[in-house]
Structure 1
């Protein structure tokens, strides 16, 4: 499973990506997790299964979700509290559930 987090510059989510990767490793899940800026959405979508949109760019969520669904991919909005508290395990669970919904 390939997951990408979409945020304003692609950098603010790097700590969250690490926490999610740690959670995946602890759970024995094989997945690739990366962060990209909103300007990189289209190429990132082509290479990944699940997009998680960071709260600071939620204004793009409906557009991104629509484009993801057109390509058979999943897209979700990260909860602001989970993002702020860097709950990598909770956000990883959201990504897995989204992935399972498109299979």
Structure 2
């Protein structure tokens, strides 16, 4: 499974990506998780399953969904509390729920 977190510049989500990767390892999941800035998102759609949008750019949700959902890529906004508290387990659960 390939998951991308998208934020304004791709940097603010890097800590959350680390927490999600750690949680995925603990669960023995085979996942590829990364963070990119919104301008670079469309360059990373190959084999992509889920895009999670940082709460601070939630206003881009409709635009991102219009571009990616026709490709079969699930899109959602990350829960603000989970994002702010760097709850990698909760955000990983959110991504997994999208593909079930």
TM-score in terms of structure 2 length: 0.95
Structure 1: runs of 5+ lacking an equivalent:
none
Aligned to 2:45, what secondary structure does the other structure show?
helix
Counterpart of 2:68 in structure 1 is 68
What corresponds to 1:88 in structure 2? 88
Deviates more, 1:38-47 or 1:67-76: 38-47
Superposition pairs of residues 20-59 of structure 1, within 5 angstroms: 20-59=20-59
Aligned counterparts of 2:82 and 2:19: Cα–Cα separation in 1: 12
Which piece of structure 1 moves more, 80-89 or 58-67?
58-67
Q: Residue deviations 1:67-96, cap 9 Å, x none?
A: 221111101110111100000000000101
Name stretches of at least 5 consecutive residues in structure 2 with no aligned partner.
none
Output the aligned Cα RMSD.
0.9
In 1, the alpha carbon distance for the partners of 2:58 and 2:29 equals 27
Q: Which has the higher helix share?
A: 1
CA–CA separation in structure 1 for the residues paired with 2:33 and 2:98: 14
What is the number of residues matched between the two proteins?
Answer: 100
String of CA shifts for 1:13-68, please: whole Å, max 9, x gaps. Answer: 00000000000001111100000000011112334111000001111011112222
